[in-house]
Amino acid sequence: MTPSNASPGPVTQTAGLAAWAGFTFMCLGMFMAILDVQIVATSLPTIQAALRIPPDRMVWIQTAYLTAEIVAIPLTGYLTDVLGMRRLFVGAVGLFTLASIGCAMSGSFESLILWRVVQGFSGGTLIPIVFSAVFLLFPVRVQGLATTIAGVAAVLAPTIGPIVGGWVTQSFSWHWLFRINIVPGVVAALGVGWLLRGEPAVERSGVARAIDLVALVLLAVALVALQIGLKDAPTRGWGDAWVLGLLALFVACGIGFAVRTWRAAVPLVELHCFADRNFAIGCLFSFVLGFGLFGSTYLMPFFLGLVRGHGALRIGEIMLVTGIAQLVTAPIAVWAERRVDPRWLTAFGFGLFAIGLLMSMGQTAQTDFHAMILPQIVRGAAIMFCLLPPTRMALGRLPRNLVADGSGLFNLMRNLGGAVGLALVDTTIFSRAATEGRHIASRLQAGDLDTALRIGIPRDAFLEQRGQPLDDFAVEMVRPLVEKAALVPAVNAAWALCGVLTAIIVIAVLWVRRTPYDAGSS
């Protein structure tokens, strides 16, 4: 059965209070897992100092989690078939909570990395499970509301992560970055386990469910190679032998996995979802959303920390504007999603998101909270329109037995977009900053007073030194000013990259098919 000839959508026609309450607990578990990634990211220096981790190994605290997560996401469909949605969620959130306890008790770098891998794999299944539940638990008429609840939880967590992480780090020890997961994890597991005992099962009718170990290894190797390759590319260079080798390994294993899975009678991941045009285009939108969303949530704290010199808590307070805008516009998105063609809502959302990204490309070294309010409001208002219609567009036409696989692939594309986006953003910043730094240094050596004043060198000090060779002390005093000034246009170029790509993808709506599940016809 393929997506094109199967009956689309769920058969559920009503959703009771238990279903809504259980779904809310599912969103709590997903929110907890996403929030954990961000709060740990803001507190890495604290963890590094406590466990005496070498600086060059610190990045693995996040890489271990993200790599395990990206492997788990596409396996969610298979695991749902084997365990059922309720049991898989309860097991995953329970394992995530256990791993959080393990992280909090870690006394060494090695044990922390081990538990972060467990955290990442268990947490990686939670997002696609929740978005699968939207189409398996609820009838079409309320799927927009359910998607909004899940979407707000998914995009709000990274927004408030810096302020939560900064507050926890300043008020308690680093162990509480993981201990705070215990109570919501237990509550979510118990709530879902009790309330969703009668959830609809996802079955591959009459077909054995043996796991394809070869396909699993190919998938894991491909995604791990891609994740590590993208992580190392900005610092090592895209032409580095190590990076090229990892990317080549990704391509080889990825092709092998795709060929084997496409031909399998019982595939590990149901790639036939991509035979549905709307699903394929929806995944493309998901990829670009990940690019812009991950890129923007990286660029803001990067700029505020390195250029403006703010701490984690202040950065979190500034970025809270985006979260508030998301919450305010979420009801509007729900109202519009049921009345307006999702193709035009998607175009509106990505167009508005592109404008919000491009509004930040004119930042100066003095740009701070007040100048960042409007771009954040525009981006926050756009995000729900970038999430709801494409999700409905991608998953709404799939038959029930493909929804879990489709949700995993849809969310995988967003994470892959984020990984690619961060790599390209970092590459843009590093390359552009180096070029700008050389230009600023050459202008200073030529005696350009305007450049000196712009980067913060006192007039008298510069005029006194102008025309004379710089001694070591003067070089050490000037270097931080040059580096900070060079970051500003580099960050602006990265904002432009995110904005232009987001704007270009809008034209893809022209190839989306209108379906009976589109707004206004349900």
* Tens-digit pLDDT profile for residues 310-324: 877 888 889 889 989
- 194 domain residue, yes or no: yes
Say yes or no to pLDDT of 25 above 70: yes
Is the domain of 250 the same as that of 366?
no
Is the domain of 51 the same as that of 190?
yes
- 439 domain residue, yes or no: yes
| 55-59, 94-98, 300-304, 393-397: range with highest mean pLDDT | 94-98
Q: Over range 241-264, report the average pLDDT.
A: 95
pLDDT value at position 414?
A: 92
As for how many domains the chain has, the answer is 3
Picking from 149, 176, 200, the residue at the C-terminal end of a domain is 200
User: How confident is the model over 363-382, as pLDDT tens digits?
Assistant: 998 999 999 999 999 999 99
Is the domain of 283 the same as that of 412?
yes
More confident residue, 465 or 240: 240
- 11 domain residue, yes or no: no
pLDDT value at position 473?
A: 57
- 92 domain residue, yes or no: yes
Say yes or no to pLDDT of 2 above 70: no
Tokens of 198: 């009668």
DSSP string, 80-123: HHHH-HHHHHHHHHHHHHHHHHHHHH--SHHHHHHHHHHHHHHH
In 3D space, the residue among 219, 221, 246 whose CA is nearest the CA of residue 232 turns out to be 246
Say yes or no to pLDDT of 5 above 50: no
Say yes or no to pLDDT of 518 above 70: no
Q: Over range 333-358, report the average pLDDT.
A: 93
- Tell me which of 2-16, 134-148, 383-397 is least confident: 2-16
Is the domain of 300 the same as that of 322?
yes
C-alpha to C-alpha distances, 305 to 177, 360, 417, nearest whole angstrom: 20, 16, 24
User: How confident is the model over 108-131, as pLDDT tens digits?
Assistant: 999 999 999 999 999 999 989 998
Is the domain of 238 the same as that of 376?
no
Is the domain of 196 the same as that of 282?
no
Is the domain of 353 the same as that of 219?
no
Residue 514 DSSP symbol: P
Residue 520 to residue 522: CA distance in whole angstroms? 6
Is the domain of 411 the same as that of 521?
yes
Instruction: Give the domain extent around 218.
Output: 210-265
Is the domain of 257 the same as that of 374?
no
User: Any idea what the CATH number is for the domain that residue 287 is in?
Assistant: 1.20.1250.20
Residue 358 to residue 360: CA distance in whole angstroms? 5
Is the domain of 393 the same as that of 499?
yes
- 302 domain residue, yes or no: yes
Is the domain of 172 the same as that of 102?
yes
- 408 domain residue, yes or no: yes
Tokens of 243: 């990076």
Q: How many CA atoms within 13 Å lie on the side-chain side of 488?
A: 16
- 250 domain residue, yes or no: yes
Is the domain of 232 the same as that of 320?
no
pLDDT value at position 85?
A: 87
- 476 domain residue, yes or no: yes
Residue 444 to residue 451: CA distance in whole angstroms? 7
Confidence at 40, pLDDT banded by 50, 70, 90: confident
